[in-house]
Structure 1
Amino acid sequence: NQRMHDKTFIVDGKVAITGGRNMADEYFDYDHEYNFRDRDALVLGEVVNKMQISFENFWASELSAKVEELYDGIGLMQKNVKVNDKVIAQTYRELHDYAKSSDNFAPEIHEAINRVPTAFPRLSEQIVWGAVDFLSDVPGKNDNRFSLGGKGRTTNALAQLVVSAQKSLVIQSPYLVLSDDAKALFADALKRGVRIRINTNSLASSDNLQASSGYRNQRDSLLKMGLEIFEYKPAPEIRSKLFQSAISGKIKPPIFALHAKTMVVDSNTTYIGTYNLDPRSENLNTEVGVVIQNETLARIVEGAIETDMRPENSWNAAKGEADGSVSFLKRSKVRFWQMMPIKPLL
């Protein structure tokens, strides 16, 4: 299946946010069992108009449907439910009234609201200025309907960034399953003398056994190629510094996993967006992101990823340290998926 994987938040056509974050508790440190380490970019200027146009293209696409229409009719994945406009309007009113009442907010939400007066001044101090380009796929991704290939605009643009690298690539991706084309792209970069470091989830931190199976099937070959791979721990030391919610004070803090999708090229160009290093992002999902030309920002982001790669936060895949921390049951489950021919779907 093709999936819209875009994540954009646009305010009045003036300010926008994009990155890896979905709208769910675990992306905002609110889940009591499992949370994600993510990354977003807040952007201003002309690039916001490009993001708005992309949103409108998806909104108007024939592939988009009103949620209330999805429940009409009878089908395997549908319910025989008919709703009229009056019921729909009433439902939206009730949802709106519930959402705007602070009495319904969890304590963590109240904490976040209380931090706003200090958060925005701090954010304004961190703003850097530079050229920004917005990458986006079109609804439907590509015209290839007879195979699982086809790529897309975002894939091609990111491939060109890899081709442009002269010294270094520092990458953070929750999933690491390289297609043959992606492996060839990185192999060429390594031959040019480009150092490639990748931070991804360990089996212990990952909640996606299928993606983990694809990574484990090719981990040894990727290391032999010359890639430096670091696997994120489920309880990294940096978790205590990043957590801002009341959940961080629990006796047993939640598992912390990577969800950021970032690439820094030659310490001067940064991609922040939704693209995972896997065949699904390459060929099936529609993806977005921003490419920012600013050395100051690039070094800040690169430094943050390097911190995540440190021994207290990640295992060095070349040393084979990670697998021993995973339960026998989870290892058995991922071995099952390793035997399945599902790589193009990962």
Structure 2
Amino acid sequence: MIFHTFSKWLTATFLATSILVLTGCAASYPDVEADFEADYSTPKYPAQVYLIPAANEAVARRIQLVQQAKTFIDMTYFSWNKDTSGLMLFAEIKAAADRGVNVRITLDDLLVFNEKWMAELAHHQNIDIRIFNPFNSRSMGWIGRAMDFQIHQAQLDNRLHEKYFNADGHTMILGGRNIGDDYFGYSTDANFFDFDVMFKGEVITAFESNFNVLWGSKHLVPIEMLVEVKQAGEYSVFDATYEEQVGEQPDVFNAISNKVSSLSAINYTPALVMPVFDSLAKMQDSKPYFRRRVENIMREPINNAKKALISTPYLIPTDGKFAVLETLTAHNAEVTVITNSSASNDSGFIPAYFEKHRPVLLDMGINLYEYKAGAIHDDHFYHADTYFHNKTFVFDDLYSYIGSSNFDPRSDFINIEFGVLIKSPEFAKTLESYLLSHKDDLYWHVTKQADGSIQWQSGDEVYDASPGYSRWHKLPDWFIRTLNIEYEL
């Protein structure tokens, strides 16, 4: 853990230095009028919802839906790893395309380099893969990307952060997970604690329309225009990559296959749901379309809440303010917040700022829980380092949010996001239980003592400093804060 934390610091320091040298200064918050998006409205749809309760089930459900698909599959993800689960899902997608299913995939370009294995599949007559806001550099790794970013920051800063899976228009999966072993509990290095929700009902048509707007936009480029392959219609690189990965991880391959074959019928919960979408206009004006739309729709529940549970991996204020939290606590709501501890955060930048914001949150009366860096989850095949990645909220045991946004500055002003508001006491109870039923095992309860000191407690364990986050972080944290890059986080 010490080496892993130190390596995260080294990476963060290197990247921070690169940003400082390459960009010269931090971006500033845009001016946003008080009534921005005040007239936004969204339809309400009756729907059936199901919170996928385990990481291994999340990938198994996707594979099952691909296997059962008859007409089309549409997907959008921020990242898609070239590992066992990522390649297994792509192999099933190819098999579906072979039997006539039309597949459309949109991916953000931040983690797509010279992926010939993926580009080969895009030459299949029934598979179309398009890349969002592509970089010019493909084969020079992060050095090339940094140089590209220096020249084209205004264009390349915006990233596609949506996570969307739609099979035949009858079943949809939304949530925080991307595609990769680390999102499904199969990574030997580190895994995310996250969740997905399956939907049935007419609300899917709203997400189909949103997907089609993005699909037809100028911001997407076919991957075959970016990555060259030797012979269109041949899949030698993909086949070799897949066979090599399965050969290296036969236990993971077998575990995923067995989970798919043992899936049981789903018991859906009826709910009223309201989809909320971002605007591609954000690419030009950097305004918080998605966040303001959610806040305006939820204005009454926020102002009148008696109880609120808020979960985000990256707890960063907007322009120095936790506006929604301030509103809730000013109205005497009981507010519980769950986030990463400094030691568990997968970002090397966030802890540098969060260490300074934690006392502010406690002074507001927030009931704060921080995720343990070594938290153990029974649904993870490998017990490695773990990161908290759940993005949701629950108000008054009735309203819930599911989606891609972390409600941090990057989600608000830079990335393209979406989500759905769910009105259902039964689902809210299920979601709260998912997050808190094992809180003594998963989280540190953080409190401020009478003498002003901060305490982290879990059972009999008590710390007077952030667990796993030593004094050696003070200097790099100070350096990162001098960059003033909260807007980018």
Query: In which range does the TM-score fall when normalised by the shorter chain?
Result: 0.7 to 0.9
CA contact 1:267–1:298 (8 Å) conserved in 2: yes
State how far apart, in whole Å, the 1-side matches of 2:171 and 2:389 are.
23
**1-side partners of 2:385 and 2:270: how far apart?**
35
1:119 aligned partner: 263
Q: What is the TM-score when the length of structure 1 is the normalising length?
A: 0.82
Report the Cα distance in structure 1 between the residues aligned to 2:474 and 2:341, rounded to whole angstroms.
Answer: 12
Q: How far 1:95 moved relative to its partner?
A: 2.6
Kept in 1: contact 2:276–2:293 (CA 8 A)? no
The answer to whether the Cα contact below 8 Å between 1:162 and 1:185 also exists between their aligned partners in 2 is no
Pairing 1:164–2:301 present: yes
Equivalences for residues 237-276 of structure 1 within 5 A: 239-243=376-380, 245=381, 247=382, 253-276=383-406
Residue identity matched to 1:214: Y
Q: 2:441 aligns with which of 312, 322, 326?
A: 312
Partner of 2:419: 289
Displacement after TM superposition at 1:286 (Å) = 1.0
Change (3 A) 1:116 1:94: same
Residue in 2 aligned with 1:178? 317
Check 1:226–1:160 CA distance in 2 against 1; reply closer, same or farther (3 A cut): farther
Verify the 8 A CA contact 1:140 1:286 in the aligned structure 2.
Answer: no
CA RMSD of aligned residues (A): 2.6
Distance of aligned partners of 1:324 and 1:292 in 2 relative to their CA distance in 1, 3 Å threshold: closer
Contact 2:158 2:283 in 1 (8 A): no
**Structure 2 counterpart of 1:219:** 358
Distance verdict in 2 for CA 1:339–1:95, change over 3 Å: same
Cα separation, 2, equivalents of 1:103 and 1:278:
37
TM-score by structure 2 length? 0.60
Paired residues of 2:160 and 2:415 also in contact (CA < 8 A): yes
Distance of 1:278 and 1:36 partners within structure 2:
18
Distance 1:331-1:24 versus aligned 2 partners, 3 A rule = farther
- Kept in 2: contact 1:163–1:189 (CA 8 A): no
The separation in 2 between residues aligned to 1:195 and 1:152, in whole angstroms, is: 28
- Residue number in structure 2 paired with 1:110: 254
Per the alignment, in what secondary structure is the counterpart of residue 271 of structure 1? strand
Contact 1:217 1:338 survives alignment (8 Å): no
Alignment check: 8 A CA contact 1:25 1:31 kept: yes
Q: 1:230 to 1:111 in 2, by over 3 A?
A: same
In 2, are the aligned partners of 1:2 and 1:140 still within 8 Å (CA)? Answer: no
> Is 1:21 the counterpart of 2:177 in the alignment?
yes
Residue 320 of structure 1 aligns to a residue in which SS?
Answer: strand
Work out the percentage of aligned pairs sharing the same amino acid.
25
CA displacement 1:133-172 (0-9 Å, x = unmatched): 222213353641xxxx510134421454265232111011
Native 8 Å contact 2:399 2:421 kept in 1: yes
Give, in whole Å, the separation in 2 of the partners of 1:56 and 1:293: 26
1:231 is the counterpart of 2:370: yes
Consecutive unaligned residues in structure 1, runs of 5 or more: 72-82, 248-252
Q: Which residue of 2 aligns with 1:202?
A: 341
1:97–1:14 Cα change, 3 Å: farther
Q: Could you list the runs of 5+ residues in structure 2 that have no partner in the other structure?
A: 1-156, 448-453, 457-464
CA distance in 2, matches of 1:331, 1:114: 46
Q: SS at the partner of 2:293?
A: helix
For 1:96-137, what per-residue CA distance to the aligned partner results, in whole angstroms no more than 9, with x for missing partners?
Answer: 78659996574213212212243232xx13x10111222221
Larger RCO (alpha carbons 8 Å, 6+ apart): 1
Distance in 2 between residues matched to 1:168 and 1:46, nearest whole Å: 30
Q: Distance in 2 between matches of 1:294 and 1:332?
A: 47
- Equivalent position to 1:131, from 264, 267, 272: 272
Match of 2:331 in 1: 192
Aligned to 1:326: 469
| Corresponding residue SS for 1:41 | strand
**2-structure distance, mates of 1:159, 1:139:** 19
1:37-116 equivalent positions in 2, closer than 5 A: 37-70=193-226, 83=228, 87-91=231-235, 94-95=237-238, 106-116=250-260
Aligned partner (choices 333, 336, 339) of residue 479 of structure 2: 336
